[in-house]
Amino acid sequence: MYEFWQHRNRHVSSSVFGQYVHERVRPDFDSVDIDLLNRAASTAILRFLEQKESGQNLKDSQVRCFPVIARLIELGLEQGVVAQGSGVFKIDWSDDEIMKALRGKRCATPQRFQIMADGTVEQLPELHATEFHDWLRCRT
């Protein structure tokens, strides 16, 4: 099983359930696996996060679905369900750089992009490590 997941291609899901859906359910719809969903009750900020290797593009299904999620977040903002700062974000940060950070070594700074409801993608300002951690915690 370990080898199967380590060598997966674009048609292999990151979860067994996702793979079941991919193989057994008719492929006439989009199916998207999101890396992380962060929500802080104290700030009402909700963030959908998708990590990609630096420069890697979103998958076609993500390009179609993420703006819909962004629009739902806009509606949540209008209704006061979520706070400003909520959204759908692509984080460009390579696995190697993340591993360096986990080991306490110097690493490249992640690049953040926000996917808007109209499908446009906006690059956000670079953050230093402490600021990035606060942003991930939905504090800012």
Average confidence score pLDDT of the chain: 89
pLDDT digit string (tens) for 125-134?
Answer: 999 888 999 9
Burial of 113 (0-12, 13-18, 19+ CB in 10 A): middle
pLDDT digit string (tens) for 43-94?
Answer: 999 999 999 998 899 999 999 999 999 999 999 999 999 999 999 999 999 9
